[in-house]
Amino acid sequence: DLLFAALSVVCTGYIALFFNDIAMRGGKALPHDILLGALAMLLVLEAGRRVLGRTLPALALLFLLYCVFGRYAPSIFAHRGYSAARIIQHMYLTPEGIFGVALGVSSTFVFMFILFGSFLSAGGGARFFNDLALALSGRSTGGPAKVAILASGLLGTINGSSVANVATTGTFTIPLMKKTGYTPEDAGAIEACASTGGQLLPPIMGAGAFIMSEFLSVPYARIVAAATIPALLYYGAILANVHLRARRENIGRLDPNALPRALDILKRDGHLLLPIAAVVFLLLRGYTPLMAAFRGILCLMAVCALRRHTRFTMRDIVAALEDGAKNALGTAIACAVVGFIVGTTSLTALGFNLSGNIVDFAGGALLPTLLLSMAACLLLGMGLPTTANYIVTSTIIVPVLLRQGVPALPAHLFVFYFGIMADITPPVCLASFTAAGIAEGRPAATGIAAAKLILPAYLLPYAFIYSPAILLQHSGFVEIAAVVLFSAVGILALAAASQGYIFSPTGAPSRILSAGAGFLCFIPGKSFPLFGVLLFAALAFGSFRRSRVPAKNEHAPEGA
């Protein structure tokens, strides 16, 4: 380990010390460059194996082999092949490989926000969010599940991994759900979906917002504004399914006497919201993410000093720094490993070739292209942390969408969403499997339950393309309001179809009509969505009337 550490310092230190010299010779590799580059690549792969597991390093190694043996690949992916020296030079000495945009963002913006999250947790942030979620939703129908949704969403946005979020909040929320009647599989599915959604929730979006801003060269505030409504609709889909399921199965509330009062929680720890508000304010005012997070940490330490139970000691500060460094290490290594994939794509023109092949296979039509892109994102995103996930999917799939004329921001958000949703989409759904382990449930059944729970949200990214008003893109207030209304009703209708309940249990015909109404709400334009809204309103009215009329003869034969 000491030898590897020393070699890492040598390989990275060489780039730092002789950067100007390397730039002046245009990245041309000298013999010692090749040696150091080969060592650096091996060290990155080994670090990835130790920290991230085998999946991502194996994928990176597969891409590197493709660089060498591309001439033997199928004709649609074939290229002339490159020598080992050329590959090492590209990966080590150019900004297209290890030391690319992704690693640069992770070592500056992302690192500082991870550090902010560590200080927030050390100051009692995790306890505050859990208690606040209990107070706000514990008394409602299906309260434990709603507690999980709120707590996981609040914590997930500053956590760079769906799996890590499940492991953090699931130990508290999953046993709570099981106590009130949820099966282990359902409890795990709810926690997995809620934790995964935290990566989609502004202002931080699991650090994906910063990398997206850097890739697109657009202001961070624009990314956050575009992602806000879809994130709220995503959580609306989970809440709708959970609420209707709880009403259908009569899953009770938590004991009100055992729950904290929201006002008491805010009086005790409400000051912890001030640093978060300060960070968001600074970002929206145009401060760099690095400076906003740094000032947020200073603000956090200042407000925590106001209360004895949140005041930082020197031991707390050291622990927060250590925790932040450990968490940031995984993200940085993931970005370095992903550099091999990005470098392969640029060296071999894989992205250009793949985009052309997908468009040709789809017959030039947009919808089949989107369906194929969705499948590719779900496949490529399996097992990857948020930052690595987004970098891989955007590098390979975004060119496909751009070739079809899709604007850049909707294209990037499309692949970002589906890449993240790979964590809850079978067959390899790591967030669901992690939750199943905590819940002591069946992994496969938990994965299927999670995919079913979030089924309405699979339509949201298509709205980015066909109804860009949902991203606040080039639209007036009326158009934005209409798209949001249609999407919300569509999600509710699909949830009702999935759960077989609106205001009362619904039969198969009503569920089919409800599903049809939900899909109509997502069709571009106004006529079909309006018809879908009216159809679901009629179904809801009928269900409401049935719920208000008690059965006259409970023992009458079925169908009487």
Domain residue spans in the chain? 108-270+288-297+308-329, 475-549
For residue 553, what pLDDT band results from cuts at 50, 70 and 90? very low
- Mean pLDDT of the residues in the chain: 87
Q: Which residue has the higher pLDDT, 549 or 404?
A: 404
CA end-to-end span of the chain: 77
Question: Is the pLDDT assigned to residue 417 strictly greater than 70?
Answer: yes
Where do the H-state alpha helices sit in 204-261?
208-216, 220-249
Q: CA 226 → CA 160, 196, 207, distances in Å?
A: 20, 19, 15
Question: Is the pLDDT assigned to residue 108 strictly greater than 50?
Answer: yes
How far apart CA 394 and CA 7 sit, in angstroms, is 32
Q: Say if residues 423 and 381 touch (Cβ distance below 8 Å).
A: yes
Question: Is the pLDDT assigned to residue 216 strictly greater than 60?
Answer: yes
How far apart CA 486 and CA 490 sit, in angstroms, is 6
Write the DSSP symbol of residue 259.
Answer: S
pLDDT of residue 430: 82
3-state SS, one letter per residue, for 360-419: HHCCCCHHHHHHHHHHHHHHHCCCCCHHHHHHHHHHHHHHHHHHCCCCHHHHHHHHHHHH
Question: Is the pLDDT assigned to residue 558 strictly greater than 50?
Answer: no
Q: Say if residues 505 and 471 touch (Cβ distance below 8 Å).
A: no
43: CB partners within 8 A, 6+ apart: 4, 7, 8, 11
Question: Is the pLDDT assigned to residue 163 strictly greater than 50?
Answer: yes
CA R_g for the chain: 25
Q: For 166-181, what is the mean pLDDT?
A: 83
pTM of the model: 0.82
Q: Is the dihedral of CA 332, 123, 171, 186 positive or negative?
A: negative
Q: CA 108 → CA 286, 289, 396, distances in Å?
A: 17, 9, 24
How far apart CA 386 and CA 332 sit, in angstroms, is 12
How far apart CA 216 and CA 227 sit, in angstroms, is 15
Question: Is the pLDDT assigned to residue 555 strictly greater than 60?
Answer: no
pLDDT of residue 301: 93
- CA 480 to chain centroid, in Å, comes to 24
